[in-house]
Amino acid sequence: MLSRIAGPSALLLLFSCSVSTHNPENPREPAPPPPKQAILLHLSPGTTLGLDLRIAGARSRRVQALRTWIGESLAQSPWLDVARDPDHPLRLVVQGELPSDQIPQGTLTTILVRMDAPPLPIKGVHFTGDTLLQALDQLCRRTRLALGEPWETLRKNDKSCRLLVSDQEAVAEAVGQSLELSKRGRLLNALGLLQRAVRMDRGCALGLSLLAGLRLDLGFPRKALELVLKMKDLERRASPTALHRAARVWLMANQSYEGLLGLAEKDLALRPYDPNILFTKALALSLQARWKEALPLLRRLRVRLPQSPGLLFCLGHALLAQGKGDEAQKILPQIQKRLPAWPALRFEALVQFHRGDYASLNQLLEDLRRKPLGKHPRVRLEISLMQASLWIQKALQEGEQNKSLNRAGRRLLEAVTQLRSQPRNLVNEQTLLPGLAWTMIQMGMAKSCRQALATLPANPGRQKKRNAPALVALSLCDVAQGKTVGKAVARDLDSMGLGFWNKRLLALRLEKEGRFQMALSLLRDISGNTKDPSLIYDIIKIQKQLGNLQEFMPSLGDLEKKLWTPRMDKPRLSPLLSPKRSFILFKIAQMRGTASVKKY
């Protein structure tokens, strides 16, 4: 990754929410003396204000630019929380008119609108067309002081909107419109607008940070990192939120989820009410599968960020993890509306899988097969994996076992066949093919699997990483059919860094010969170096053969709970997308005498 260019620690030092005792406009100048502060209404720290603009005779695009300038100027305050929501029960209305040919001087006034009290006029400014941005800075500064923000916090967070956004109206309008489109799930449209804004003003730190986040959301981490690096020299033009967003993108792209939580805790000490930083904390907890801690924070943030696609996605997974499938089903329409098609469909499938609604899930996947999206090779592969997993789970239902497992087996063969033409997936998903082979062997399909694997590359050489999964899968099938792994294959596995598979293959052969104690000893030797649930299951299975009930029964519950826990950081670890994990859950349910899906 691009962390070789600039280390994460150096970037975090740059992007942490810093404060200054100097003038933000010119750090070399000392801060101006505090003005006389006339507080009209002392709002509590962290009060959320909706922002509503009512500008007479102004075009919608110009109003969008004004909203961006005013919103960013107010949002730099650590004292107030400003939302782009004109319907909030407590809102700040900015009303007036702009200069024109008929009106040489414009006027803008801030008014606080409350549900249980008459509107409260706060501050107003007069300006000409050339002094609009200075007037906006003055209006926002006076309004913050009038609502009770201490001079100390304002002085440390008082950059001009021309710095925070841009002095070009077209840039401010494009950035504001992109934010609205992102909330509605139109990410590609938002991407185009942000790219245009950054081209017009290459020093727009707000646009760069938003564009980096969008690039990451769309699956382009390297491009996101390149955009973050461009912000190294733009600290003067960046708001605390933009700097935090850039650091979040950097850590997310480098999959440093513990660092992400550390960033959130550090910045919350300075800006405890910032919803973007609170979301970073919730996101970090979600990516670490700490769902019990994440869920209350996500519920609280949903009130503040009801249209955030990322928050809804995290909340949906958290609800599933806590066994609240019905609640996850209720927010599904919002997720479908605001997320790209494939992530939304995959989450819908996950909800139905956790709720045990296999008929609806199968119909959803069959319909998807006939759509253009379902023709994409990666999507076709995942459809086959999901259908295999659902039929394995459906086998728990009374009278359905043989029929369902046969259907699952056909989907597993289909997935193996599809992998022949997807070498990139063989490289990127090193455990996928061995996992499919292991599952088919457990289902008594070793011969069929061996035949399907025959055309896959298995010889070591320049493409070792591509050939390794096929070599492991072929060896598993051979041992399952009573064959011995030759010395040449064992050397090849060692040369590929897969020496532990030699022990595992030997343990499989010993198990078939009835030498359970030796097989168990071998598997325990390598269990500390892997988190593969199939290895843990193999150990439990042998313990059952040896009659060690007190040892393997507690392990079943721990393994079952772990497998059912949703993983946002690695979706392939879900039993829905991993037939291997689905089969292990199926066998655990049989061992425990459970005839239904266990939800956590």
Which pLDDT does position 3 carry in this prediction? 39
Please tell me the predicted confidence (pLDDT) of residue 70.
Answer: 96
Q: How many residues does the chain have?
A: 600
CA 228 to CA 247: how far, in whole Å? 8
Closest by CA to 356, choosing from 593, 580, 590, 575, is 575
Residue 189 backbone dihedrals phi, psi, to 5 degrees: -65, -40
53, β-bridge pairs: 94
CA distance 563 to 557: 10
CA distance 574 to 533: 12
Average pLDDT over residues 187-210: 95
Closest C-alpha to 46, from 196, 189, 153: 153
For residues 567, 573, 575, 578, the Cα torsion angle rounded to the nearest 10 degrees is 150
Pairing label, strands 91-97, 106-114: antiparallel
Which pLDDT belongs to residue 462?
A: 41
Average pLDDT over residues 368-387: 93
Tell me the range of 56-60, 285-289, 566-570 where mean pLDDT is highest.
285-289
> Above 80 in pLDDT, residue 597?
no
Q: Are strands 117-127 and 106-114 parallel, antiparallel or unpaired?
A: antiparallel
pLDDT digits (tens, 9 = 90+) for 481-500: 988 888 888 888 888 888 88
Q: Is the pLDDT of residue 353 over 90?
A: yes
Domain 48-164 identical in fold to domain 340-592 = no
Q: Is 529 exposed, middle or buried (0-12, 13-18, 19+ CB in 10 A)?
A: exposed
Q: Distance of CA 593 to CAs 239, 369, 575, Å?
A: 58, 35, 20
Task: Say which residue, 596 or 530, is predicted with more confidence.
Answer: 530
Q: What percent of the chain has pLDDT over 90?
A: 59
Per-residue confidence (pLDDT) for residue 184, from 0 to 100:
83
Residue 406 confidence (pLDDT) above 90: yes
User: Which residues, including other chains, have CB under 8 Å from residue 126's CB and lie 6 or more apart?
Assistant: 105, 106, 107, 135
Q: What are phi and psi of 388, to 5 degrees?
A: -60, -45
Q: Where are the beta strands (DSSP E) in 68-116?
A: 81-83, 91-97, 106-114
> 48-164 has which fold?
Rossmann fold (3.40.50)
The helix or strand, by DSSP H or E, that contains position 589, with its residue range, turns out to be helix 579-592
- Name the nearest CA neighbour of 158 among 249, 287, 35, 23: 23
Check residue 35 and give its pLDDT.
61
Mean pLDDT of all residues in 281-310: 93
Measured between alpha carbons, how far is 511 from 570 in angstroms, rounded to an integer?
Answer: 32
Q: Is 451 helix (H, G, I), strand (E, B) or coil?
A: helix
Which string of b and e fits 454-466 if b means at least 16 CB within 10 Å? eebbbebeeeeeb
- Domain residue extents for the chain: 2-17+187-320, 48-164, 340-592
- pLDDT tens digits, residue range 139-150? 999 999 999 999
For residue 154, give the nearest of 143, 165, 166 by alpha carbon: 143
Q: Which residue has the higher pLDDT, 425 or 482?
A: 482
The CA distance from 387 to 320, in Å, is 20
Residues 589, 564: Cα–Cα separation, whole Å: 12
Residue-wise pLDDT tens digits, 23-40:
555 555 555 566 666 677
Q: Rounded mean pLDDT of 52-76?
A: 94
Provide the residue type at 190 as one letter. Answer: A
CATH, range 2-17+187-320: 1.25.40.10
* 598 Cβ contact partners less than 8 Å away, ≥ 6 residues apart: 560, 564, 585, 589
Amino acid at the residue 204: C
Q: What integer is the mean pLDDT of 260-285?
A: 95
**C-alpha angle with apex 360: 357 to 366, nearest 5 degrees?**
135
CATH fold for domain 340-592: 1.25.40
* Token reading at 587: 């066998």
